[in-house]
Chain A
Amino acid sequence: MTGVAIEAHGLGKTYGRRGGGHRALHDCSFRLPAGRVCALVGPNGAGKSTLLNLAAGLDRPGAGSLAVLGSTEPAAVRDRIAYVAQDKPLYPQLTVADTLWAGAELNPGRWDRATADRIAGTLPRTARVRTLSGGQRTRLALALALGKRPELMLLDEPMADLDPLARHELMGALMAETAEHGTTIVMSSHILTELEGACDYLLFVDGGRVRLGGEAEDIVDAHALLTGQARDLAPHTVVESRTTGRQLTALVRKEGPVDTAAWAVTQPSLEELLLAHLRSPDAPPLLTPSASAGVRAEGVSA
């Protein structure tokens, strides 16, 4: 066991024709240690789904390399990865029971019927998939994903079509099932609050690359919200600053001790942090040591 769930080096993926295509990912490098629950956040079109698709071995990267669960070929370890696509595609003509049966058929030797049944919970077993509501579909898709006892779960906007109660309930079930196995989970969303609290790791993707990566706490700790009289902010890296008269409010990345005499220092929330980065596309990326891909990546992205 390498202790690394996903490691990307200079990952690139372009959709459409060469030249005029849409660059979904570009020179994207990061590392996700095993056993984390990671929030993959970013605005729409940031490359979240593309990244999950590549990690699930459904598509091939156009450039760079991607190692998943220690294999440089994600497709080769597909039996250890679970992936739930954004629209939760399932065979509409099958019943719930048939779908769970299909999960067992497609995962010979791995299928955990009890877990799948537990997650499927109260779903009517004889109902056809096409008659299920959004929340029920999500539940069934999660049952299918958890039933194969994955080491890595990739969930693309898993909670998007759920009401808050169902979201809370399913998230709880997901965490309970995966905690004892130390399953690595990557959940994408463009709404951070959906994931905050459940996740201890963060990958913030924007413009096809990872701009923030690491333990959620460490990332928050690395930043400070400074308020005080307008003056030079050196040596800190300014992410975003706003001046009102002589008053300056700045979100900075701390490069040494902050002069608490000159500034009123508060800790930004994760959401404030992400919004500031979204508004300042030029802010340099921050990857904590655990999220930095190996030496080769630094050479590539320099």
Chain B
Amino acid sequence: MSTLTRPKTEAVATAPGTLRGSARVLLRVHRKALWAGAALLVTGIGIVVALRVWVASSEALCGGGDVTPCGDEIYVPNYAYTSAEGYLANGGTVLILLAALIGLFVAGPLIARELESGTFRPAWAQSVSPAHWLAARLAVPAALTVSGLTILVIVYRWGLWAFRSGPERYGTRWHSTGVFPGTGPSVLGYALLAVAVGALCAVLVRRTLLAMSLTALVFGAVAACLSAWRYELWPSSFRKSTDVLGHAPGDWPIDSGMLTASGEKLYWQDCFEADMTQGVEACMRDRGGIGYFSEYHPASHYWPLQLVETGILLALAALAVFAAFRVLRRLHG
């Protein structure tokens, strides 16, 4: 019975081979999504380029161009300038939404749909282990997303550069919620987290729609929390004075108030809420305030804030990836 012409076991070297094979098959299966992703990338670049061209080619309203006041203190930007700034003020949010979109794609079409429809079986019954199968579904979107978003971050920063010499404008300040995540590495952290959470939700619930909804929920919650408490990610600077404090351009004001003789901090907020009949200043003086203070992030805190946020996101992503592999191993070995 055993005069069998069994194939030689070349299986020793198949490990990296099957991973590459899985990745190539994955790209072929999801060719359309790949094209859609490329289209989004080109659209993103196109929008920023178009805005800059628009701003550069639009006629200035007064002599020195629209980045200088018209001979007095009043700043009069033209329509192109205001609109472009308005759009770019949300660039960071758009990039986070793109990251979320990739997470949804990983959770749904890439993993959960295969588990739901059974197409994982032929893959695993070929020479691809479940771990390799999942690894390909993490590595390919992660690599593509990181490259794509890196390009978009660079383009976005170049887009914001157009407004560098203008007076400080609310929308495109470095710390603004719609800008900050899109100008540095943190959006890459968001993308990797989205991919990882998508994979984890998919192997956990194994239902396309459910996995996608769950991913959106988890990713949205993390993004909302980081956005709300971003200022806590790095110790803020502190400044005090006997006069009312203004902010330097580029500062991110966090909170301010008055100091008592003993150095205790009284926040304006407390007096706004406490008593409406007298002036806030008087209220603070009543409570013992003698000098002014403010807490803020100077522009130099940009990188520490970016890196801490990225670090948190990467740590969460690593945790989710680890959990996803654990779940898959427990179920399928």
Residues of A near any B CB (own CB < 8 A): 1, 3, 33-35, 56-60, 73, 75, 78-85, 87, 89-91, 93-94, 98, 101-103, 105-110, 141, 144-145, 148-149, 151, 180-182
Contact A149 B7 (CB under 8 A): yes
- CA distance in complex: A141, B5 (Å): 23
Nearest chain B residue, comparing its CB with the CB of A140: B122
Nearest chain A residue, comparing its CB with the CB of B330: A60
Q: A58-B125, A141-B122 are in contact. Are A35 and B29 (CB under 8 A)?
A: no
- CA distance in complex: A3, B117 (Å): 35
A-side contacts of B164, CB under 8 Å: none
Q: Nearest-CB distance from A281 to chain B (Å)?
A: 31
Binds A, one of B11-19, B43-51, B257-265: B11-19
Which listed residue, B9, B25, B130, touches A102 by the CB 8 Å rule?
A: B25
B-side contacts of A94, CB under 8 Å: 28-29
Contact B17 A108 (CB under 8 A): yes
Q: A58-B332, A78-B124, A78-B127 are in contact. Are A109 and B25 (CB under 8 A)?
A: no
- CA distance in complex: A149, B126 (Å): 11
Q: A35-B2, A60-B332 are in contact. Are A110 and B7 (CB under 8 A)?
A: yes
Which listed residue, A106, A144, A151, touches B6 by the CB 8 Å rule?
A: A151
Q: Nearest-CB distance from B40 to chain A (Å)?
A: 20
B-side contacts of A103, CB under 8 Å: 126
Contact B119 A89 (CB under 8 A): yes
Chain B stretch 1-55: residues in CB contact (< 8 A) with chain A: 1-7, 9-11, 13-14, 17-18, 21-22, 24-25, 28-29, 32
Contact A98 B28 (CB under 8 A): yes
Q: A93-B29, A102-B28, A182-B1 are in contact. Are A144 and B333 (CB under 8 A)?
A: no
Which listed residue, A73, A82, A106, touches B18 by the CB 8 Å rule?
A: A106
Nearest chain A residue, comparing its CB with the CB of B14: A108
- Tally of B interface residues using CB under 8 Å: 39
B226 at the interface (CB under 8 A from A): no
B169 at the interface (CB under 8 A from A): no
B153 at the interface (CB under 8 A from A): no
Which listed residue, A83, A93, A109, A182, touches B3 by the CB 8 Å rule?
A: A182
A-side contacts of B127, CB under 8 Å: 78-79, 106-108, 110, 148
- CA distance in complex: A209, B223 (Å): 51
B128 at the interface (CB under 8 A from A): yes
Total number of residue pairs linking A and B with CB closer than 8 Å: 126
A-side contacts of B117, CB under 8 Å: 89
Q: Nearest-CB distance from A108 to chain B (Å)?
A: 4
Q: Show 30 residue pairs from A and B whose CB-CB distance is below 8 angstroms, ordered by the A residue.
A: A3-B2, A35-B2, A60-B330, A75-B332, A78-B124, A78-B127, A79-B11, A83-B125, A84-B125, A85-B121, A85-B122, A89-B118, A90-B119, A90-B122, A91-B119, A94-B29, A106-B21, A106-B22, A106-B127, A106-B128, A107-B126, A108-B127, A109-B10, A109-B13, A109-B14, A110-B10, A110-B14, A110-B127, A182-B2, A182-B4
B143 at the interface (CB under 8 A from A): no
- CA distance in complex: A106, B121 (Å): 13
Q: A109-B13, A109-B17 are in contact. Are A82 and B333 (CB under 8 A)?
A: no
B331 at the interface (CB under 8 A from A): yes
B-side contacts of A141, CB under 8 Å: 122
Q: Nearest-CB distance from B107 to chain A (Å)?
A: 18
A-side contacts of B6, CB under 8 Å: 1, 151, 181
B-side contacts of A93, CB under 8 Å: 29, 32
- CA distance in complex: A287, B189 (Å): 59
Q: Nearest-CB distance from A53 to chain B (Å)?
A: 9
- CA distance in complex: A105, B26 (Å): 11
Q: Nearest-CB distance from B197 to chain A (Å)?
A: 25
B97 at the interface (CB under 8 A from A): no
Most B CB contacts (10 A, CB to CB) among A3, A73, A81, A105 go to: A105
A-side contacts of B14, CB under 8 Å: 79, 108-110
Q: Nearest-CB distance from B236 to chain A (Å)?
A: 50
B-side contacts of A60, CB under 8 Å: 330-333
A-side contacts of B1, CB under 8 Å: 3, 33-35, 182
Contact B333 A57 (CB under 8 A): yes
